[in-house]
Structure 1
Amino acid sequence: MEQDKEISKTNEPISEYGKSSYADYLTWQMEEMVELIKGKVFKHAAAPRVNHQRAVGKIFITLSNFLNSRTCEAFVAPFDVRLPVKSRKNEDIDTVVQPDICVVCDPSKIDELGCVGAPDLIVEVLSPGNNQKELKHKYDVYQEAGVLEYWIVQPVECTLMIYTLVNGQYQASKLLTMGDIAHSQAVKGFELDLSSVFENINP
């Protein structure tokens, strides 16, 4: 595969790469972050906006402080999460994502390359240009892989939607916003005050 191919500037899959695996992914040398979703290559949007980074930082710090001295561990992007279907062999894995934040409670899923298997909690903070990927493509693969809880944060609108896996299907919470306290079922005891998350967000 040629390393100098131009990456698409949309969140549509990059068709020129064909169907790829994690083994292919490991050979690429790209300046931009990409993800694999069912063998299709997706380019990350441009560098995250300030609101995105503020929200990610607040949530990650709160999670990390809560998980101190606990088995579960929080990670922030860039961090490869491989979601195997058939096997854990690199050539068989066709989905590799980099969630903004993830929490992994099974230490056996962590290796030097990142996480292999479904995290317990994934948090994605939306940025202009990546909404379709998060709301459709990632929703599907996270549900299929068995991610117990998927949080979608919209920083500009100051909202959070929580999807909880019940009998293999996601069930949505009510739409949460300023003044609400978010409670995690996947990370027992974790609460997030959304007013503190969104207090410095610029409209």
Structure 2
Amino acid sequence: MKPPNYREGVIVTATELKQNFGKYLDFVEDQNDVVITKNGNKVARLTPYVTDIEQYFTVREKALDYKYGGKKVSYEEFMEISEKSTLRMEFINGEIYLLGSPTIGHQEILGRLYLWFSDYFKENKCRVFLAPFDVHFKKKDIKDPDVMQPDVLVACDLENNVNDKGRYMGTPTLVVEILSDSTRKKDMVEKLNTYMLSGVQEYWLVDQKQENIMIYYFADHEIDRYKIYEKGDDAQSMVFQGLAANIEKLFADLL
């Protein structure tokens, strides 16, 4: 039973939730979200469990950026959860991370990079893809892969690496992540480690706050070299000769 006059994904105050918990529990049971506010600020979200693996409702602070229940799951469990969910999520070191909605600035940067990359690779066998696009990163000497959604990726091994469900199962040559306050640590530590150990050759970290790009080049599953490009520079790929991004144009007039 849904509460009258409410739509999916309703926002309620903590007081309202306490007074009518049963009603909202029914609402969540019908596969809807309830966002909870306190003093005018969104503080938590009540969501339905996604599969029988999760036998409880998950309520977490900072609802747009949290680990899914804070529990470790296997790669097989993650695949079961993600295939039954409409949420965007990543799987890193046994943890599930739900992905929040990007900012306007993030999307403007993403669009500019995609256009530049696509123009460069238009006569090339390599293909450029944008998030959301799951990639299964198989780390050296580690059984379970991580599953992540790089903002931009360049795949040069599509032949024989697309399964019967149309999913890419190879290893990108180059990946790009656009940093945000909520993902900075994950992108600069956990993701860097995954990309390095899985055979990615080049990793771009685009920092809107600092208006720079840091490029890592990996060899033999280690950091071989890196360079930071700032205003006045053209960030230059170390793998693809001539692939570049002008720093000033990339960050110009962002909202």
TM-score range, shorter chain: 0.7 to 0.9
Report 1:148-159 matches (<5 A).
148-159=201-212
Residue of structure 2 equivalent to 1:65: 119
Residue of structure 2 equivalent to 1:33: 88
Distance (Å, rounded) in 2 between the aligned partners of 1:167 and 1:21 = 25
Report the count of equivalent residues. Answer: 197
Q: 2:189 aligns with which of 114, 118, 136?
A: 136
1:34-81 Cα deviation digits (max 9, x unpaired):
10012221122x311111111111001110111112100000000000
* Cα distance change of structure 1 residues 193 and 3 upon mapping to structure 2, 3 Å threshold: farther
The yes-or-no answer on 1:186 pairing with 2:239 is: yes
**Most deviating of 119-128 and 192-201:** 192-201
Q: Percent identity?
A: 27
Root-mean-square deviation (CA, aligned residues, Å) is: 2.5
* Cα distance change of structure 1 residues 33 and 144 upon mapping to structure 2, 3 Å threshold: same
Secondary structure in structure 2 of the residue aligned to 1:151:
strand
**TM-score, length-normalised on structure 2?**
0.69
Structure 2: unaligned runs, 5 residues or longer: 1-52
* Cα distance change of structure 1 residues 100 and 200 upon mapping to structure 2, 3 Å threshold: same
* Cα distance change of structure 1 residues 5 and 180 upon mapping to structure 2, 3 Å threshold: farther
The yes-or-no answer on 1:164 pairing with 2:214 is: no
Residue of structure 2 equivalent to 1:81: 135
1:118 is displaced (CA, Å) by 2.0
Structure 1: unaligned runs, 5 residues or longer: none
Distance (Å, rounded) in 2 between the aligned partners of 1:149 and 1:3 = 40
Which has the higher relative contact order, 1 or 2, with Cα contacts under 8 A spaced 6 or more apart? Answer: 1
Secondary structure in structure 1 of the residue aligned to 2:58:
coil
1:115 is displaced (CA, Å) by 2.6
Distance (Å, rounded) in 1 between the aligned partners of 2:188 and 2:166 = 26
1:39–1:94 CA contact under 8 A, matched in 2: no
